[in-house]
Structure 1
């Protein structure tokens, strides 16, 4: 149960609404007009790279049997893109100590998500590691681009409102069907009856 809960912190059903919340809050809390654009680009690129890697394998069998790689772990990549930014945003006016702690939590959550994907046998090590590297690269690049950005503080009621939707989604536990959609899309795109599987990779 613990690992299923942790892995949900990387599920699109939770992350996409949370990413939208971040995009809506940034113009209000940031003094940099480009911050929201940079965020949309960072999160969008994470989704694009993950989707392309999965389509290449599911539709065309492009992967690596040697590294047991069938595409980036979406849970790992998307969580590593989102949570450091989410904690940076919320902790914008905290003291340096507490802000550093919050950012540490933002980087720790994706690591736990990635580990949970291994425990429940949803991905290989190469897929989790590359997913985390992709996500952390994008979130860190975003944070570096915002190093001179001043953020307005959050009151605790505002923090509660910001976290309300993610907490409600977490409580519901409904998972996204993005993998099933990509499987159908990739098979149709390549003209296949069914998408490639990991077993097909090792048979090649």
Structure 2
């Protein structure tokens, strides 16, 4: 299996959206209500920005043609937000948690690079996604001082098994196609804008 397509799957919403929900539920289960609420707010806000940027282009052709920017990279944002947050809860020690989060941030950058390598995003879109995602995890870990309840071994094995299964099977969430349909409906268009088309230009 090619390296970059395998890496890019680590940022797919079919894997990381459930993981983000798992982090929220785990914090609630451990009685960390305020931290769970903060995570939901930060992750939800970042996700909303990604969706809004994509709908703006798909529906109305709003983007930055000079940068070939058609929306924030969702894979890059998801990886940057979720992977460091998840990794920080692998260890009870704060120092070990921060080291794990830093390594996971490096993996998130690799996910961003993979989006460029397989030619599905422009550099501007990946930079925006990584900035938003890594900013989300950094804000969360900074606000909580990375003092988070460590996962129990059984739960950790479950998360790892789900991740391995997702990357091995290649199951992907149809989020892009769904957003295209929503954008076309909201903008009352027969079809959504595609990369290379911009507002004010004729459809091709």
Please indicate, yes or no, whether the TM-score normalized by the shorter chain is above 0.5.
Answer: yes
Match of 2:161 in 1: 164
**1:85·1:143 contact (CA, 8 Å) conserved in 2?**
yes
Equivalent pairs counted in the alignment come to: 200
In the alignment, structure 2 segments of 5+ residues that lack a partner are none
**2:62·2:199 contact (CA, 8 Å) conserved in 1?**
no
**1:18·1:166 contact (CA, 8 Å) conserved in 2?**
no
> Structure 2 CA distance, aligned partners of 1:26 and 1:106?
20
1:144 is aligned, of 137, 142, 154, to 142
Calculate the aligned-residue CA RMSD, in Å: 1.9
Deviations 1:17-55 (A, max 9, x none): 1111111211244x6420111111122112100000000
Match of 2:52 in 1: 52
Classify 1:77/1:150 alpha carbon distance in 2 versus 1 (closer, same or farther; 3 Å): closer
Deviations 1:128-158 (A, max 9, x none): 00111111111111111101x6434445444
Map 1:122-201 onto structure 2 (within 5 A).
Answer: 122-147=120-145, 150-201=147-198
Structure 1 ranges of 4+ moved more than 3 A: 149-158
**2:76·2:130 contact (CA, 8 Å) conserved in 1?**
yes
> Structure 2 CA distance, aligned partners of 1:47 and 1:158?
25
Deviations 1:98-142 (A, max 9, x none): 334311212011100000000000000000001111111111111
Give SS of 1:198's match: coil
> Structure 2 CA distance, aligned partners of 1:192 and 1:61?
11
**2:61·2:199 contact (CA, 8 Å) conserved in 1?**
no
Classify 1:146/1:120 alpha carbon distance in 2 versus 1 (closer, same or farther; 3 Å): same
Q: Does 1:14 align with 2:15?
A: yes
Classify 1:56/1:8 alpha carbon distance in 2 versus 1 (closer, same or farther; 3 Å): same
Cα distance, 1:189 vs. partner?
0.6
**2:72·2:125 contact (CA, 8 Å) conserved in 1?**
yes
> Structure 1 CA distance, aligned partners of 2:70 and 2:83?
24
Cα distance, 1:81 vs. partner?
0.8
With structure 1 as the length reference, what TM-score do the two structures score?
0.90
In the alignment, structure 1 segments of 5+ residues that lack a partner are none
